Structure 1
Amino acid sequence: MKSKRAAEGDAFAEFSIAVLRLAGHLQAEGDTLARPAGQTSARWQVLAAADHAPMSVADTARALGLARQGVQRVADLLEGEGLIAYRDNPAHQRAKLMELTEAGRVTLSDIQGRQAKWADRHGGEFGEQRLREATGVIAEVLASLSGKQQA
């Protein structure tokens, strides 16, 4: 026997499915944008995190909502290619900090140049206000599901 949801429950289920479908499309688009630089969406995310601030693999995984082991695998590959370097972490002896190398900066800049054109094109289709409102709703749902209060 099927349970009947409230109208709000139906709307949330439809929203959830749409967000999951969007995530798949964004992952594929990210791979397309990163491919000319010899990278993937996952590698691009780790490069961008390392550029944002010196972070450990665990900090990066938390910030991206990913498994630490997966981020560690990607970070080690990027280090092997000379795109990031590990350096000592004054706050933790074993958890090294990732930082971009010069080659990593060049690679990230290459990807970001393509992403800026892509984002401008798609952003123009929907408008800044609508996108900021949608982003706000998604941020609220994420905060609710993770048990955190919205700032």
Structure 2
Amino acid sequence: MSEPMASGDLLSGTALAVFRLNGRLLEVSERLARPAGLTAAWWQVLGAVLREPLPVAGIARAMGMTRQGVQRIADLLVEKELAEYLPNPAHRRAKLLRPTPEGRAAISEIGPAHQELADRLAAELGLPAFQESLAALHRLSAALDRID
């Protein structure tokens, strides 16, 4: 039986694994988004406002991005007519971002390839392990939020 890892080693190992996973997910996302005329970052920002319009700061919080980075992407999406700004009744200066019909269409183009990848990953991992991976990532994120 192996010795338990020290907490510092666990944090380092977790960070490296998450960085690698993030890199792989970004690669895959770029590949999925490209045929729809999007980048992974554009997809991420549009995806954040599919259910409801949000201010840039809200998108940044939800997606773990910087406000400035989201602002640059939001402005590009508006310029490309994939999103639009709306007045925000709660805050005069912080406009809301929402996808245009063209933006929604681009996101829906990604759907079939996204589902095919999801099915392949579920088959590779097994559905219970896939669900537990997601739960573990949520627990890790929530724990960091509580202590940081």
Shared fold (TM-score, shorter chain, > 0.5): yes
Give yes or no for the alignment of 1:99 onto 2:98. Answer: yes
Is the deviation greater in 108-117 or in 66-75? Answer: 108-117
Could you tell me which runs of 5 or more consecutive residues in structure 2 were left unpaired when the two chains were aligned: none
Give the 3-state SS of the residue equivalent to 1:146 in structure 2.
helix
- For 1:76, the aligned partner's letter is D
Runs of 4+ in 1 over 6 A off after TM superposition: none
Give yes or no for the alignment of 1:138 onto 2:140. Answer: no
Could you say which residue in structure 2 is the equivalent of 1:3?
none
Could you say which residue in structure 2 is the equivalent of 1:64?
63
Is the deviation greater in 55-64 or in 11-20? Answer: 11-20
Matches within 5 A, 1:13-28: 13-28=12-27
Give yes or no for the alignment of 1:78 onto 2:77. Answer: yes
Matches within 5 A, 1:37-52: 37-52=36-51
Could you say which residue in structure 2 is the equivalent of 1:32?
31
Task: Give the distance between the partners of 2:112 and 2:72, measured in 1 at CA.
Answer: 26
Once the 2 structures are TM-superposed, how far is the Cα of residue 60 of structure 1 from its aligned partner?
0.3
Could you tell me which runs of 5 or more consecutive residues in structure 1 were left unpaired when the two chains were aligned: 1-5
How well do the aligned residues superpose, as a CA RMSD in angstroms? 1.4
Number of paired residues?
A: 143
Once the 2 structures are TM-superposed, how far is the Cα of residue 13 of structure 1 from its aligned partner?
2.6
TM-score, structure 2 normalization: 0.90
